[in-house]
Chains A and B, each alone.
Chain A
Amino acid sequence: MTTVPKPVPVPVQLGLPRRLVEFALDDEPVRVPEGSTILDACEAVGKDIPTLCYGDTLTPKNACRVCVVEVEGARTLAPACSRKAEPGMTVRTDTERARHSRKIVLELLASSVDLSTTPHVAGWIREYGAEPDRFGPDAATVADRAPKVDNDLYVRDYGKCIMCYKCVDACGDQWQNTFAIAVAGRGFDNTISVEHDAPLTDSACVYCGNCIEVCPTGALSFKTEFDMREAGTWDEDAQTEATTICAYCGVGCNLTLHVQDNEIVKVTSPHDNPVTHGNLCIKGRFGFQHVQNRD
């Protein structure tokens, strides 16, 4: 594999420029292309809205509700990640009501799921003054679910799963079209599962790892990462990333190699690649061992 300095080609704009929609965002007028979401508009003006189930390569499922904002005239709050900007609407992102719901969502999640490997969440918990402990020591949780270690490539640790549906969407009709996993059960007892809760090795899984790519919590992780975390040797600060092109076939997918102590510890793929959008196949995702066989 060769390291390419600037791997991501600039997408060519096709079609007519989109019309602009103007609305009031926190009392400031903003203009965004038609079809943009409130979240897009917030990003454009540099406003930070917490998100968990939103994925930049997926259709919003708006399940977590941590991104809710207040839309004037609406009975309920609206998820910024999926609500489309409409001309003349008045949106407030930082009202008491919106902050309250975000705080409670963070408390509900942090008290029921192991968020220890979810990026950003600790900061939001501080920012919103969330106190997950106030539900008491007996609060029901899924954090005690045992990790499913049933193959050599990746681990499913559903004690960390917030049920964002992203892995299911990535495995299903949005990207991979393998449909190996789905949501099973109902309510608090629901979970991501293959049929009959079988091991992954008995399922349709093709180990593309595209579910790992989109998982926002670390519930899905490379076996290498899982083992290193168990051993206490996982150290993100000591890792470097290098983006290269997969050498296995002619498609030319981008691979970002995460390297710690001169070993590849996991492989991701840039989401802004206009062809693959972060998706890979088993070879690009997991077939890195030969690069570092030193004997």
Chain B
Amino acid sequence: MDFVFKIAGQAGAGVMITGRMMVKCFTRGGYNVIGYPEYPSLVRGGHNTVQVRISDKQIHSPRHDCDLVIALNKDAIFYHMESMAEGGMIIYDQLIDPSRFKLRPDVRMHALPLSKLTLDVGGTEQMKNTAALGAALAAVDYPFGMLETLIREELARKGEEIIKVNISAAKAGYDFVKSGGISFGKQIKPASDVRKTIVTGNEAIALGAVRGGMKFYAAYPMTPASSILHYLIEKERQFSIIAKQTEDEIAAMNYAIGASFAGARSMVGTSGGGFALMTEALGLAAMSETPIVVALVQRNGPSTGLPTWTEQGDLRMALHASQGDFPRVILAPGDVQEAFFLSAKAHNLAEKYQIPVLILSDKFLSETVFSTERFDQSRVKIERGKLVKGPLPALAPMTRWKRYAITDDGVSERALPGTPNGMHVGTSYEHDETGFSSESFIMRAKQVDKRAAKMKKLLKEMEAPDVFGATEGAEVTLVTWGSMKLPALDALALLETKGIRTRLVSFTHIYPLNPRAVKKALRNSGITVMVENNPTAQFAGLLKEYANVKLDFHMLKYDGRQFFAEQITEEVVKLKEAGFKGQQRIEVIEKEDMEYYNPQRHGL
């Protein structure tokens, strides 16, 4: 069983909340569920959708085509008709006149008097999507009780009156579909009692950080990173952390570095534009050897770009940001479990090596909600490295502690303010062993070498890529970094049905790259295809640079959406048909243009 709903309506109509409710509803029924939102950068007037994919098998990414669309506005019919699965169904608000649109003979259309249904039970226009949710569940014969319980819990704080009306609205939608004999023709019954958790990439990053000992978070709102800030501020007191909205990203980064200098594990979260503003301070963290974690949630650049869409275009920026050379680590989780554990690991690495660590996510992973197991938090261990505990031996008068002592592994002992006899200056200038500014040529070279020496041990902390699918005898090997693991995993299954033995090599530890691990993972890999969500194959370039590995094909997508498994599959099949010959560069673009931003352009 593999079924895809899409709830679509005008921004502000509550589509996102309804989507999340639906995800919960089916997760509670024991299904694997993915809730994938799309929305333009408009608060009102734009077109919002949530795609809810449910399956009794492992699924990893949204599907391109939908089975059942709940259309709360006319745009929904216009936009989503093309991507309806064969024999699909659209249930639309009766206020919409579908005859204005090109319909498909195989797609069933059913009108729903949403306004009437909600108003009749004493509800408001705002509750139309609750009624629609009820209708959607009825169409697949999912028990209403699941939804009723959920509404009770979600609205518990709003009082019995509100709960009652919402349940009535949902029931009205449910009953209308049932009594009208509208049925998709597919029954979805609760599958098991196993209860999974639903979590977005951003929530996983936040929770991993907190479990990893993060005590201080600073950020300035920026999509698609903002939900980390919202989540942490909401839980601030419960977790006993401080999460601060600052005046800008420059402040956020410098607050976090200050807090870390004082001894609190610290993180900032932003997207490309905000990270550009943090760039100077990234170097401050490096020079003063202050641990810092940056969650960089990518959207499409350059500049303001596409604020609410996805891309993996900031890898080179993360790698090269800030002047001079200094060690750093880049991690890129490929799913929510990895987001949790890598976020915790980032804090260990930052503190053990006293360096900046970047977590690269993107809008797709960060804002999509996935059903998953509870995080096995016992696996998270806190390692603080060479942190001084307790008072240090007395210093000679007028001298300071050697915070930046030259060591073999490049890491020096670190004393926090408040530690007796540990006085020193953390500084953005080149400095001597006590932190005093120094322009000695010899000291300069020594400090550069000391910082660089950290890379040696760090390389051992970098895990080899994960290998999925055909470990032996692969005809094709897909290579991904970060979130593109998800559609690639689903493509593995699809390619299997096409008779193409495929392996997936998924990188989460992006920099520094261990050349031996790269080569090992790519041994006997057949035809290699990099699948990357950017226009220049940034990670393929890194593989070439650091492991001297050249991949046969670069499959690239940079239109605002992530890859869908169907698209990867289609391109690989085409490649095979062409005898794996042709241009190295393969571009994938969505077939139908959505242009959600400006519906007027389509006369909507």
Q: Do A and B bind each other?
A: no
Binding site for B on A (CB under 8 A): none
